[in-house]
Every structure is written in C-alpha cells, then in structure tokens.
Amino acid sequence: MSQTAIYGLSTIVVRMLNFLLAPLHTRVFLDQADYGIISEMYAYVTFLNVIFMYGMETAFFRFASGKDPHDHRKVFGTAQGSLIVTTVLFTGVLLLLSSRIATFLQYPGHGEYVVYFALIIGFDSLVNIPFARLRLEQRPWRYFVIKLGSIGINVFFNFFFLLPAILQKPDMFGFIGFHFKQEQAVGYVFIANLIASAATFAIFLPGMRRLSVDKLLWKKLMLYGMPLVLIGLAGMINETFDRVLLKYLLPGTLEENLAQIGIYSAVYKISIFMTLAVQGFRMGAEPFFFHQSSSDNAPKVYALVMKYFVIVCCIIFLGVGMFPDVFRIIIGENYHEGLGIVPVLLFANLLLGVYYNQSVWYKLTDKTLYATIIPVAGAVLSIVANIILIPIAGYEGAAWSRLLCYASMVILSHMIGQKYYHVPYNVRKILAYFAISIVLCLAGLWLHDGLGEGSTSFALRLGLIALFTGFAWWLDGRSLLRRS
C-alpha cells in the first residue's frame, strides 16, 4: 500500500471512529442545548488551533525537506522549540482567564470548559510537528497507529463516561469510583478528549528532549508560516463559524439558540459520507495531478477526473439525501427535526470537493496567492450570508450560507484558473449532472413525504438512483471503459 493511501486511510478511519460519537452524544444529550455547547466549543478550538500553530507545520515541511539529517534535526528542534514556548504562553493565558472567558461566552460558573480546551489545544499543538516528522521520515504506519490509538482512546472514554446514561445505570462503574452525573455530562466529553490528547503527547514526549533552536532559521520559519494563518482562519470561518454565529444572531434565548446549534451540528454529521469521499479524493488526487503535470495531455485528464468525480459524488448525494428515514438512525430522535437540511449540506460538501479538484491550477502554476484570496473571499461571503440568513431562517440559513460560500469559491476559482491554466472542463455536462441529481433528490423526498416510509417508497427512490446511474453510464461510463 502506498504511503499516500495509508495517510488517506488513517484520515478516513479517524473520521469514521469520531463519527461513532454522534449516535452516542445525540442520545445522551436529550437537551439539544447541551450538544450545542459541545459543538460551539469545538468550533472555537478550530480557530485556536490555527493561532497556536501559526503556520509552523507547513514551514517545517518546507525547510526540513533537505537530505542532510543534521538540517532535518535542526528544523525540527527550532520549530518544536518555538511551539513549546508559545504553547505554554498561550495555554497559560487561557488558564488564567478561564473564568472570565467562560463568562464572556455566557457560560458563567463553567470555567472548567475553557481549562479543558486550553489543555487539549496545548497538547494537540505540541504533537503536530512530531506527526509531520513521521510523514517526512516516511513512517506512515507509525503515524497511522498513533492517530488510530488517539481517537480510539477518545471514543473509549466517551463510551465509558456516557454509557451509564444510555443504560440508565449511573453507578455501573461505581466499583472503580465513577458515578455518572447528568449535570456534568458535557464536561465528560471534554475530559475524554483531554485524556486522548495527553496520551498522544506522552508518546512523543521522549523525542522532545534536548531540542536545539537556531535563531536565524526560526526567523525564516516565522516569515514563511505567519502568512498561512490567514488562509487557515479563512478555512475555519467557512467550516465552523456558522455555529458560533447561530448563538449570537438567532432571536431566541441562550438555551433556545444553543439547541439550534445542537440540531445543526448533529445533522451535519450525516454529511460525513460526502466528506469522506472528498477527503479520499484529495489524498489520492494531488500526487496523481502532479505526476500527470508533465504530460501534454494533462489538462484533458484533469477534466475527465472532474467529470467522474462529479458523477460519483452526485450518486452519494442521492443515496444519502433521499433517505432521511434510513440515515436518521445516526442521530437521536430529538435532533430529527433538522434532517431537512441534509441535502443542502451534502451538496455544499460536494461543491467543496469540486473546488479542491480545481485547485490543481494554482499549484501547478505557482499562483499560490490565490490559495489565500479565494478562501478569504468565500469567508467574507459566508459571514455576510450568515448575518442575513440566520435571523430569518435559523440553522437552515446557516446551511444555505455554507452552500453559497462553496459555490462562490468554485465559480471564482474557475474564472481565474482558466486564465492561467486552461482545463477543458465540460461545464455544461457537469451542470446538467448537478441539475438532474437535484431534481431527482427532490422527487425522492416528495415520494418519501407522500408515500411514507414503506417498501414502495424505498424501492422507487432506489429506482431514481438507478436511473441516474444508468444515465451517467450511458453518457460517460462506456467511454471510460474504452479508455481503460
């Protein structure tokens, strides 16, 4: 198995294991507001992770790619030494201000939430460079095992802390001194993550001794890495900021707004099937794109890859979007009212995959400035759209804002990219596939609503997927066989 495949597999497996927590959490937290707290806190974490790392991981890859092992160790020591100092500083500030921050976030009396996350972010920041070094040293299996172990510990302790609530046996682990208390359930989730993060840090700790910091090299790393913070923050705005805005833009009480965040975050988990497809594509496509770049036929190959990627993703869109009666089992009953936005979130993630597919143009032409401009433009639109739509439509407005954001990034990337690196995408055919899949999805949902959840409705919806697949095969599948 190639290294790219192993790294891709580790990412997918980690996401899938983390996905197992959604059925657990949404059945333990019957009050959606509690799940909303968890979702909001993790949204803040994504932003703080970018700030804590300040581009140092990418800078490490850039400067440690030489063949001299002494240079390799020097770059590791400098990058890791810098992160140790800043992480201790940033984490210390969060710990000292934990009560004030909790009050500012409207969680007075819960400064422990901030304490947990300060430590989680701190531990996670200190293992990113060691993980990067494993990739640089071409040790994918060790990378995979540690990643798997970390998420495994997190999942295990989530079930340990929360299973008594599911089984309604708060004292089932009383023999080792643990008694489940519902009022502390949110904290249990954070503690499970903290244990996993601390365990991962402990694995890498021996390699952090006797670090040597080169001041001149440190300046180079900072100059290279700091501009990447803007890219990272823009990406996080597009990915998670809507959950923060829901809390402050909705007209309800704090409890009501947190409940909306909880519902939105829970149903978003169902879109993981599209996310996994996009993630798997990214892992495999980038090496393939660079390998093909020297070929005169490369643009045509990229166009074909885009077309077949769209076809596969449209099938996933139909397979998940038309069957709310099947996929609702993933989340607890108290969250089912949000299932209507699943198709919107699925299609938004599909468009994000299209954007990643398109991004080959600025990587091959070294126009990486656009890797900043386009996400930042998307982030600005995302914020504006959320500000307008959330007060009107709640979490549905957040879902549509996400769709608009990724659609704008696709359009902007296509318009600019074709000027610098022309790829003959069959735009009309791709748009036709989009339109047909959307119409069929709406028809399938109409069948679900009109005929109920019986076998007739289920069979007809399967027939719609077969119709789309057959049409795509007739139009493009046979030509793919001829090429192979």
CB proximity list for 64: less than 8 A, separation 6 or greater:
71, 72, 75, 76, 79, 133, 136
CA distance 39 to 35: 6
Q: Which two tokens stand for residue 92?
A: 């210390």
pLDDT along the chain (484 residues), means of 10: 65 76 93 94 92 90 67 87 96 96 93 95 95 85 90 94 93 91 93 96 90 89 87 88 93 94 94 85 70 78 91 95 91 93 96 90 76 89 96 95 96 92 92 96 92 87 95 80 57
From residue 412, give the alpha-carbon distance in Å to each of 405, 408, 418, 462.
Answer: 11, 6, 10, 35
pLDDT tens per residue, range 73-85:
889 999 999 999 9
pLDDT tens per residue, range 115-171:
999 999 999 999 999 998 888 887 888 988 999 999 999 999 999 999 999 999 999
Q: Which two tokens stand for residue 245?
A: 């805005």
CA distance 156 to 18: 11
- Identify which of 474, 464, 408, 415 has the alpha carbon closest to the alpha carbon of residue 439: 464
Cβ burial, residue 277 (10 Å; 0-12/13-18/19+): buried
Q: Which two tokens stand for residue 104?
A: 């500012």
Q: Which two tokens stand for residue 135?
A: 């990739």
How many C-beta atoms surround the C-beta of residue 68 within 10 A? 8
pLDDT reported for residue 189: 95
Helix residue ranges, H only, 359-420: 360-364, 370-393, 395-420
CB proximity list for 405: less than 8 A, separation 6 or greater:
238, 348, 378, 379, 381, 382, 385
Q: What is the largest CA-CA distance in the chain?
A: 70
pTM exceeding the 0.85 threshold for the entire prediction: yes
From residue 334, give the alpha-carbon distance in Å to each of 28, 99, 157, 329.
Answer: 10, 31, 24, 11
CA distance 399 to 391: 13
- Identify which of 120, 103, 128 has the alpha carbon closest to the alpha carbon of residue 53: 128
DSSP for 123-190 reads HHHHHHHHHHHHHHTT-HHHHHHHHHHHHHHHHHHHHHHHHHHHTT-TTTTGGGT----GGGHHHHHH
User: Hey, what amino acid is at 421?
Assistant: Y
How many C-beta atoms surround the C-beta of residue 251 within 10 A? 9
pLDDT reported for residue 2: 60
